[in-house]
Amino acid sequence: MHPAANASILHRVSGVIMVFAIGILLLTLSTSLSSAEGFAQIQDYLDGIFFKFIIFGCLSALTFHVLAGVRHLFMDLGHFEELASGNATAKFIMVLWLAISAVIGVWLW
């Protein structure tokens, strides 16, 4: 498949990931606001590698979804609709997404 197709599919996948992420994040928020013990429990979870991986996945999916969404908005306005320019912008957002994800990973760890 060409890069534009991959970017489109990943845009849909990142949207589905974010639907599940909303549940995880709302549960985390609810627990942390319920009591001082709940807040301390969430703080302990945030120190663990598993929870950091979940947060990394949520932020990475959000980043890709926003970047690909902006790309799609430009395409709706009539820009980057040709195969060459569509593939170039798809490659650009994937590289930008990987760079931003690396920054997020460094920030979390």
Q: Enumerate the domain spans of the chain.
A: 3-108
Distance CA 96, CA 65 (A): 12
Read off the pLDDT of each residue in 67-81 and give the average, rounded to a whole number: 94
Q: What are 1-44's pLDDT values in tens digits?
A: 889 999 999 999 999 999 999 999 999 999 999 999 999 999 99
CA angle, 74 as apex, 73 and 78 as ends, to 5°? 115
The CATH-assigned architecture of domain 3-108 is Up-down Bundle (1.20)
Burial of 69 (0-12, 13-18, 19+ CB in 10 A): middle
Residue 109 has pLDDT above 90, yes or no: no
